[in-house]
C-alpha cells in the first residue's frame, strides 16, 4: 500500500467525470487499498479516486469514530437509486478543499447500489452521515465539489483560502 497525493482545488482534474470500472480485480483492490491508506493519513472519512488523479468511479470511506475499530467501506460504480425529499443540513469539508467547512443540504436518506471490494453487488439505504458522505463522494465522481453547492462568493472565498495556504506552505518549505 502507498499514500498518494491528494489533488487540491482548483486542479482541473477534479472537474473530470470519472469512468465506470469495467472489472473488479487485484489492480482495482490495490488502488482502493492505497486510497484508504491515503484517506486515513490525511485524515478524512471519504475519498474518491479522482481526488488522487484516477478518473474511475471508486470511493473509499470509513465513518468509525475516533475510539472505534476502523470500518472501511469500498464503493465501485456507485449510483443513487432513490432519495427522500427531507433534506439534512450538514457541515461538510473536503480533503481537496483543506481547512474549509460549510453547511450543505442533501437528502437525509438515499438508496444506493454499488459493487463492494470483491465485486459483489450491494443495494442498501444510507442515512444521516452515511448518506451525506456517499453523496459528497459521488459528486466527486461527477466532477462536482461540495463548494459547487455554495454561493459563488463562498466558493471563490474557499478557493482563495486554499490557494493562500498552499502558497504559504510552499514558502515555508523553501525557507
| 4 occurs within a structural domain | no
Per-residue pLDDT at 7 = 98
Select from 94, 136, 116, 75 the least CA-distant residue to 8.
Answer: 94
Within a domain: residue 5? no
Q: How far is CA 62 from CA 13, 54, 71, 145, 172, in A?
A: 24, 20, 5, 19, 32
pLDDT bin (cut points 50, 70, 90) of residue 116 is very high
pLDDT-based confidence at residue 86 (cuts at 50, 70, 90): very high
Q: What is the CATH number of the domain that holds 128?
A: 3.90.45.10
Q: Identify the residue whose cell numbers are 486510497.
A: 35
What domain range is 160 assigned to?
Answer: 12-174
Whether the pLDDT of residue 144 is over 80: the answer is yes
Would you say residue 2 lies in a domain? no
| Reported confidence tier of residue 10, pLDDT bands at 50, 70, 90 | very high
Mean pLDDT over residues 115-127, rounded? 98
Please indicate, yes or no, if residue 28 is contained in any of the structural domains.
yes
What is the pLDDT at residue 107?
Answer: 97
CA distance 113 to 67: 29
Is 7 within a domain? Answer: no
- For the record, the C-alpha cell of 80 comes out as 443513487
Residue 126 covered by a domain: yes
Percent helix, strand, coil in the chain, to 5, is 35, 30, 35
Position 160 in a domain = yes
Res 174: pLDDT:
78
Q: pLDDT tens digits, residue range 146-168?
A: 999 999 999 999 999 999 998 88
Query: CA 145 → CA 66, 97, 169, 173, distances in Å?
Result: 25, 9, 23, 28
Residues designated as active site: 137
* Total domain count, the chain: 1
> Is position 6 within any domain?
no
Burial status of residue 146 (CB atoms within 10 A of its CB: 0-12, 13-18, 19 or more): buried
pLDDT for 64 equals 95
The residue-averaged pLDDT of 42-50 equals 97
pLDDT at 175 over 80: no
Amino acid at each position: 500500500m502507498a499514500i498518494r497525493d491528494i489533488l487540491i482545488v482548483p486542479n482541473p482534474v477534479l472537474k473530470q467525470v470519472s469512468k465506470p470500472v469495467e472489472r473488479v480485480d487485484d489492480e482495482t483492490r490495490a488502488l482502493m487499498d492505497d486510497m484508504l491508506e491515503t484517506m486515513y493519513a490525511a485524515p478524512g472519512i471519504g475519498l474518491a479516486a479522482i481526488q488522487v488523479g484516477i478518473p474511475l468511479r471508486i470511493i473509499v470511506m470509513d465513518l468509525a469514530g475516533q475510539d472505534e475499530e476502523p470500518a472501511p467501506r469500498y464503493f465501485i460504480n456507485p449510483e443513487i437509486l432513490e432519495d427522500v425529499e427531507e433534506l439534512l443540513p450538514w457541515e461538510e469539508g473536503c480533503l481537496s478543499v483543506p481547512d474549509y467547512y460549510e453547511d450543505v443540504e442533501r437528502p437525509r436518506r438515499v438508496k444506493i447500489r454499488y459493487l463492494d471490494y470483491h465485486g459483489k453487488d450491494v443495494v442498501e439505504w444510507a442515512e444521516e452521515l452515511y448518506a451525506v458522505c456517499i453523496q459528497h463522494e459521488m459528486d466527486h465522481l461527477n466532477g462536482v465539489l461540495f463548494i459547487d453547492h455554495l454561493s459563488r462568493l463562498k466558493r471563490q472565498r474557499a478557493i482563495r483560502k486554499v490557494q493562500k495556504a498552499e502558497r504559504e506552505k510552499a514558502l515555508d518549505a523553501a525557507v
